Chain A
């Protein structure tokens, strides 16, 4: 007995829970039959929630004119329905796009099993619901038991009415909540009588057909049973969750082998029921042998349909290939840890199975650790085997050509027997009859080998007849005196059969080999060309060209731009190989990474199939294909080929993408390097002469300021002006270089935990020469937290603000620097009591080359504030200006506080170190 939880199972549960948290929750109001009050119950539940101020909306509700329900609907907000034109009639349908945009907390959607009007995004309403859930919207919906896929045939048998609208059991099983709405058959019939379910005329009709008491009881039982199963499963899950009692069972896994016959569907449904009752996972596989590849398209479509049904019923499906079905099945079963294998009952007689055992017999013989369940087949019809179109087209033969060849075969059979007859007549006198028959045999053999079974058999009949007629005495008559020639006849017939079979097999294998070779050749060709493609447009061109040829279809490939939006089609639309794509669908495919359009679950009415071009990292684009004949892309091997191509194109696009990324990075690096060297060169070349000018004017100024100066007053004032202007020019050069550095790329911040007062101090010191005539007050709280910033950059900001403050205020003005904690930010303000800012230009002044006063005599180019803004924004802060009352300008910038580093036991560390160092000192 296993006593601890199976880790795989636990992991699976955790993953499921995770996925569930992000998804919306689905609650199903489940009933045995129409009219039990599911919609009513759903609306009542929704109303309670709506009263709690939760955003509820009615997506779609069919009241069927029921008064109770309509009353209940009042007061709930309705989502407008979409009107769709279908066969000349306007039909209203649930508008999934509106719902996704509106994004309510909860949406009500009646009739989960409903089929949407053709032309909607999804063929089924439950697929709409899936998309809503995936978008995180909770959904309430209703469902009748007869719509459940696995019960569909059972209900059909009981009631004689089979509904076309079915819901995969998986959806029901994975619903977060199921509420059973139950009503006794008597009550239901009474309600029907009262006209509460259908309007009276319909009610009478319904009562005769569907609403018979027996039906109602059966349906009710099924609904109850199904709900009970769910409750039971929940109970078990709960126990597993809470580990109340270790009842871990080995997990059953069932494998069903799907064949080609009609009975496959029953087989699948039976397995689904078996799996449900055993709470087991199940797999459906189809093993394709060379013989099965010869099936007609219709038969293969039927298999595909069965596989899709299995998928809808919750199975994992796989198509395997091999020559011996039983071996492949058993290998697969073993690899997937399957405990039960379900197969159909063999249909052939015991004797034929003795010579060529059926799959079931082989399985029974070889299976070691797997139980074999044999399901009885019902109606059995012989299938006609015809060579498959795809193979034939691959071989280059059309139906007509094939029949022409056959016709020629019969003529040749006639010719062969005539030639044999003439020859043997000529040779009759030289050879024995028993030797002459060899000539006929040769003819039969050649015909069989060349033209197959039909002409071969025809030739053998002709040959025996001719031999009998011309050669066997009595000659020129059919009377067989000697019955021993009967043996000749049988032998010839068998030889013809054996040889024609051998040849046809041989030819078939040649065709398959040919097909495989062609396939690998086209793959190789495309791969080779894609490998040499250097740009994505080149890849698109190559792929379009190749695929159009291989699939006889129109192709389009759309690529996304840098914002994950697919680009408009650039290609020449007149080109017959290019399909026009629907931007909406292709964007959907790109966003959801799922296929859509023709033959899929999403927008199947489109004439094109849209495939996402998936690459390892992400989807790289969308491939649209518009086939001339559907079979070109929907036969499994063609589809497989198409998928392989899509993957290859995706890979090629990704490769090119990374090449581009690498090149961009290289270019960036190079231009960064160039920019830096240019900047430092300019910086050097500007600073060097400026240093001389500043230095020399400084010396002159010192001399002019001295008491025993040689200069006259005029010269002194000129020297002072020279010095002042040089000093301003120095500021300007610094600002210009800073701006160039900041503008040229990312501001490289050296963010460290700093004390604001330190930076304020250094800024004031730096600006001291300009600030001599102003009074500066600083007010920074002692307990201000450390802030993470680049000290040099913030110093720049403060210097510029101080520079502005003294530039635009008269002498002796007061400049206040204040810092306060404001929520999660620290606000630093530089305020003056000058004239203030020009009105309404509080924002504009941060633009480059914008100055407070136009054409003013004040120096500067208006770079200071925009540099400040760039720096503060790089620090995730904000900078703005205000006008003070009564007058004065106020500049504030904010810096986020973040989480300063902890300084645990700083004093202890210091104490420890000081103890240590004092010891060292002693030594």
Chain B
């Protein structure tokens, strides 16, 4: 395997924050380029072909959502959003626009690194394609996507069709926050997007079957008020 240094682009107007992000990412051995404005950031993303973009929402020249949509028009590069706004509607808006993850300020460097790594892993998984024969693993769980089989350790786990579909959607988006709306639409269909309690109940079922402790899940994470995320 060739040594590939992952490239990250940080778009952030606050100098101090930019500095600490760059410092912590470089410490972790990542190649970092930075931009102060949205326009500059778009140029950087276009020319550097990064592996992940870290984007601050409160840019002086452009709306963060606008930046995301422009990037999404020609690239599938993972985007992690940084925001000082806490309201869930804003998060959902950003995620629906195409962002993969978000972090609320203030956040720790460890947290940011973990999120970036998750995106990088996802990306490498996607580029490797079906190299592991449609098998997906997290913790003790093995999911055979082609044969629709799930097992926990050596024990087979029986999932209902809905549960399996829910799991596959999450697997397809491993590491990404998938909004409730998106999950409902993909699993139940467009007419069920308002029935979020369906989702919660089935998520509960999945956790009961797959997690060691359903109240303190390790893989099927809840992003309160926003959606769910599968962590591996």
Residues of A at the B interface (CB closer than 8 Å) are: 680, 683-684, 687-696, 698-699, 702-703, 726, 730, 734, 737, 750, 752-755, 757-762, 764-765, 776, 778, 780, 782, 786, 790-792, 795, 900-901, 903, 906-907, 909-911, 913-914, 917
CA distance A698 to B27 in the complex (A): 12
Taking A684-B84, A901-B195 as given, write out 13 further A-B residue pairs in contact, using a Cβ cutoff of 8 Å, ordered by the A residue number: A691-B105, A692-B14, A695-B17, A698-B24, A737-B86, A753-B196, A753-B200, A757-B214, A759-B222, A762-B224, A900-B197, A909-B188, A914-B162
Asked whether any CB of chain A lies closer than 8 Å to the CB of B60, the reply is no
Chain A neighbourhood of B108, CB < 8 A: 694-695, 698
**Contact partner of A757 among B14, B109, B204, CB < 8 A?**
B204
Residue in chain B with minimal CB distance to A693: B106
Asked whether, in the complex, the Cβ of B23 is within 8 Å of the Cβ of A699, the reply is: yes
Q: In whole angstroms, what is the CA distance A764 to B197 when docked?
A: 22
Chain A residues contacting B225 (CB-CB under 8 Å) are 750, 790-792
B138: A residues at CB distance < 8 A: none
* From B27, B200, B213, residue with most partner A Cβ within 10 Å: B200
A-B contact pairs, 8 of them (CB 8 A): A695-B21, A695-B112, A699-B109, A755-B201, A757-B214, A758-B200, A759-B222, A910-B188
**Inter-chain contacts of B221 with A (CB < 8 A):** 765
CA–CA, A759 to B20, complex, Å?
32
Q: Once the chains bind, are B188 and A695 in contact (CB under 8 Å)? A: no
Inter-chain contact B216/A690, CB cutoff 8 Å:
no
A692 to B105, CA, bound (A): 9
Q: A778-B215, A910-B162 are in contact. Are A695 and B197 (CB under 8 A)?
A: no
Q: How many A-B residue pairs have CB under 8 A?
A: 141
| B204 contacts A698, C-beta separation under 8 Å | no
**Across-interface contacts of A757 in B (CB, < 8 A):** 204, 214-215
A791 in contact with B224 given A695-B24, A764-B215, A903-B198 (CB within 8 Å): yes
Inter-subunit contact A762/B222 (CB<8 Å): yes
Given contacts A757-B204, A761-B217, A778-B215, contact A907 B160 (CB under 8 A): yes
Whether the pair B84, A786 counts as a contact (CB closer than 8 A) is no
**Chain A residues positioned under 8 Å from B196 (CB to CB):** 752-753
Listed from nearest, the 3 A-B pairs whose CB atoms lie closest are: A914-B161, A910-B162, A695-B20
Chain A proximity mask over B177-210: 1 for CB below 8 Å, otherwise 0 = 0000000000111000001111011011000100
Known: A702-B110, A791-B225. A692 touches B84 (CB 8 A): no
From known contacts A752-B197, A764-B215, A913-B188, infer whether A683 and B17 are also in contact, taking CB-CB under 8 Å: no
Bound CA span A790–B87, Å: 12
List B residues 71-115 near A (Cβ within 8 Å). 84-86, 88, 105-110, 112
Chain B residues engaging chain A, CB cutoff 8 angstroms: 14, 16-17, 19-21, 23-24, 27, 58, 84-86, 88, 105-110, 112, 160-162, 165, 187-189, 195-198, 200-201, 203-204, 208, 213-217, 221-222, 224-225
User: A909: which B residues are within 8 A, CB to CB?
Assistant: 188
Q: Is the CB of B161 within 8 A of A689?
A: no
Min CB distance B59 to A, Å, is: 13
Residue among B58, B161, B217 with max Cβ neighbours from chain A (10 Å): B161
Flag if A702 contacts B198 (CB, 8 Å).
no
**Nearest neighbor of B20 in chain A, beta-carbon distance:** A695
Q: Is the CB of B224 within 8 A of A695?
A: no
With contact pairs A692-B14, A694-B106, A917-B165 given, residues A786 and B188 touching in the complex (Cβ less than 8 Å): no
Is A913's CB under 8 angstroms from B16's CB? no
In the bound complex, residues from chain A placing their C-beta under 8 Å from that of B189 are 913
What B residues does A759 contact at CB under 8 A? 222, 224
Kindly identify which residue among A702, A737, A755, A791 contacts B109, using a CB–CB cutoff of 8 Å. A702
User: Across the two chains, which residue of chain B brings its CB closest to A738?
Assistant: B86
Docked Cα-Cα span, A757 to B14, in Å, equals 38
**Cβ–Cβ contact B215 & A694, under 8 A:** no
Which one, A691, A726, A750, A753, contacts B197 given CB within 8 A? A753
Give the complex CA separation of A419 and B130 in angstroms: 136
Q: Which residues of B contact A778 (CB under 8 A)?
A: 213, 215-216
A901 touches B197 (CB 8 A): yes
Contact B110 A698 (CB under 8 A): yes
Bound together, the chains give a CA A761 to CA B153 distance in angstroms of: 24
> In the complex, what residues of A have CB within 8 A of residue B19's CB?
692, 696
A903 in contact with B106 (CB, 8 Å): no
Pick from A692, A703, A755, A917: contact of B204, CB below 8 A.
A755
Query: In the bound complex, do residue A911 and residue B161 qualify as a contact, i.e. CB atoms below 8 Å apart?
Result: yes
Closest to B204 in A: A755
* B215 near A761: Cβ-Cβ < 8 Å: yes
Q: Quote the shortest CB–CB distance from A920 to chain B (angstroms).
A: 12
Q: Which residues of the other chain, B, contact A687 by a CB distance below 8 angstroms?
A: 84, 105-106
Q: Would B222 and A758 count as touching, CB distance under 8 A?
A: yes
| Partner pick for B106 among A690, A758, A782, CB 8 A cutoff | A690
Asked whether A691 and B23 contact (CB < 8 A) given A680-B85, A901-B197, the answer is no
Contacts of B160 in A (CB 8 A): 907, 910
Contact call A694/B107, Cβ cutoff below 8 A = yes
Of B19, B84, B204, B217, chain A has the most CB atoms within 10 Å of the CB of B84
Cα-based distance from A388 to B96 in the complex (angstroms) = 83
**Cα separation A151 to B23 with both chains bound (whole Å):** 106
Bound-state CA distance A792–B226 (Å) is: 10
Inter-chain contact B85/A688, CB cutoff 8 Å: no
Least CB distance from B60 to A in Å reads 13
- For residue A703, which residue of chain B has the nearest CB? B27
Q: Are B88 and A730 in contact (CB under 8 A)?
A: no
Asked, given contacts A680-B85, A683-B85, A910-B161, whether A691 binds B106 with beta carbons under 8 Å apart, the answer is yes
Shortest distance from the beta carbon of A705 to any chain B beta carbon, whole Å? 10
A778 to B214, CA, bound (A): 10
In the complex with contacts A683-B85, A778-B216, A909-B188, A688-B17 CB distance below 8 A: yes
A585–B130 alpha-carbon span in the complex (Å): 88
Complex Cα distance, B17 from A693, in Å, reads: 9
CA A217 to CA B109, docked complex, whole Å: 108
In Å, the complex CA distance between A778 and B211 comes to 15
Chain B residue nearest to A911 (CB atoms) is: B161
Residues of A within 8 A of B201 (CB): 755, 786, 903, 906
B85 A695 Cβ-Cβ under 8 A: no
Do B14 and A688 touch across chains, with their CB atoms under 8 A apart?
Answer: yes
B191 CB to nearest A CB, Å = 10
A698 & B109 in contact (Cβ 8 Å cutoff): yes
Distance of A736 from chain B, by nearest CB (Å): 13
Given the known A-B contacts A755-B200, A778-B216, are A683 and B88 also in contact in the complex, defined by CB atoms under 8 Å? no
Tell me, in angstroms, the Cα distance from A765 to B224 when the chains sit together.
Answer: 11
A381 to chain B, nearest CB (A): 83
Complex contacts, A680 vs chain B, CB 8 Å: 85
Q: Is the CB of B204 within 8 A of A683?
A: no
User: In the complex the two chains form, what is the Cα distance from A660 to B20 in whole Å?
Assistant: 53
Instruction: Given A695-B24, A698-B110, A778-B215, answer yes or no on A758-B14 (Cβ-Cβ < 8 Å).
Output: no
- Most chain A Cβ neighbours within 10 Å, of B88, B105, B214: B105
Specify which of B86, B106, B195 is in contact with A695 (CB 8 Å cutoff): B106
